[in-house]
Amino acid sequence: MLVNSFIHAPGVGPKTELALWEAGLTCWDECSPDLLDFVGPTRRARIVEHLRESAVALGKHRASFFQECMPSREIWRLYPEFEEKTVFLDIETTGLSSSWDDITVISLFDGREPRALVKGRDLAEFPSLIKKYSLIVTYNGATFDLPFLHAKFRAFKKNYAHIDLRYPLARLGYAGGLKTIEKRAGIRREGALAGVDGFMAVMLWYEYKRGNRKALNTLLRYALEDVVNLKPLMEFTYNRNIRAIPLKVPKLKHASLPAIDVPFDAKLIRRFGG
């Protein structure tokens, strides 16, 4: 979808992009000055030059280039072209303030293998690990996860593009918390894990700090399911959005997800009210 997009070019809004598509120009390679005769010469030259720069940026996996020029409501278009450089991300904390509270777990999923970084164990590896990726996908990460991470890790630079699924899903009519959205999208969690939320994640962390190893495993299982489920949710979001595009854009196929081999304590979840 990204290479079919013109809306990130200077002077191109939804109406101009639609006009380009209706004129038969459906990808960057097809755009040349002589085919843009319905656009003024100055804007025509700027569009063509920007599309050249776009092709270079895509070839170098520079998703940040598109973050800067793509309208925020259309940033979902980046996913297929940057899938191999995408990481799904979620954090658990001891509270809501990046000034006073700590990050306890950072869960990451590159589409193949999930990983959880834990405070006191390997959390400090985050800045070096995140450098491998050009695109970060979260749910509600724009207002919580990413500001929290930037506050805690000075080495975490803003040289990435970010898709916060909360916003495109809300525009599609899917508003609410992550678990509510997952259910509506047909994504299920195993047994008692469906009852764990962010508040209980804090309780599990402090239970672990009191010496209960099962509490940490339960927290990690919850955190890893959170981040692994973001992939099918991204695919769901993309496939729903392309319905409104008047082009033949291939749907994303739902790939199988890896099994998360971390045991959880259902009795502990129920004791905490889940």
In contact, 61 and 85? CB cutoff 8 Å: yes
**Hey, what are 128's tokens?**
């070096």
Cα-flanking dihedrals φ and ψ of residue 138, to 5°?
-135, 175
Domain boundaries of the chain, sorted by first residue: 2-60, 80-271
Q: What is the pLDDT of residue 256?
A: 87
In this chain, the answer to whether the domains covering 2-60 and 80-271 adopt an identical fold is no
| Cα(257)–Cα(269) distance, integer angstroms | 24
Using CA of residue 58, residue 59, residue 61, residue 65, what is the dihedral sign?
Answer: negative
Neighbours of 38 (CB within 10 A): 10
Three-state SS for 164?
Answer: strand
| CATH of 2-60 among 3.30.360, 1.10.150, 1.10.1760, 1.20.58 | 1.10.150
How far is the C-alpha of 9 from the C-alpha of 140, rounded, in Å? 27
**β-pairing verdict for 114-118 and 103-109:** antiparallel
Neighbours of 81 (CB within 10 A): 19
* Pair 15, 6: CB distance under 8 Å: no
The fold adopted by the segment(s) 80-271 is: Nucleotidyltransferase; domain 5 (3.30.420)
Beta strands in 216-274 (DSSP E): none
What is the structure's pLDDT at 191?
Answer: 84
Q: What is the pLDDT of residue 37?
A: 65
Q: How far apart are CA 111 and CA 245, in angstroms?
A: 26
The confidence score (pLDDT) of residue 46 equals: 85
Q: Could you identify the residue written with the tokens 């495993």?
A: 217
Residue 189: predicted pLDDT: 84
Per-residue pLDDT of the chain (274 residues; tens, 9 = 90+): 999 999 999 989 999 899 889 888 888 887 766 666 666 677 778 888 899 999 999 999 999 999 999 999 999 999 999 999 999 999 999 999 999 999 999 999 999 999 999 999 999 999 999 999 999 999 999 999 999 999 999 999 999 999 999 999 999 999 988 888 998 988 888 888 888 999 999 999 999 999 999 999 999 999 999 999 999 999 999 999 999 999 999 999 988 899 999 999 999 999 998 7
Could you tell me the strand order of the sheet in which 135-138 lies?
Answer: 114-118, 103-109, 86-93, 135-138, 161-164
Tell me the two tokens of residue 96: 């809501």
**What's the rounded Cα separation, in Å, for the pair 92 and 107?**
8
Quick one: tokens of 35?
Answer: 């085919």
pTM: 0.95
HSE on the CB side for 138, CA within 13 Å?
20
Length of the chain as a residue count? 274
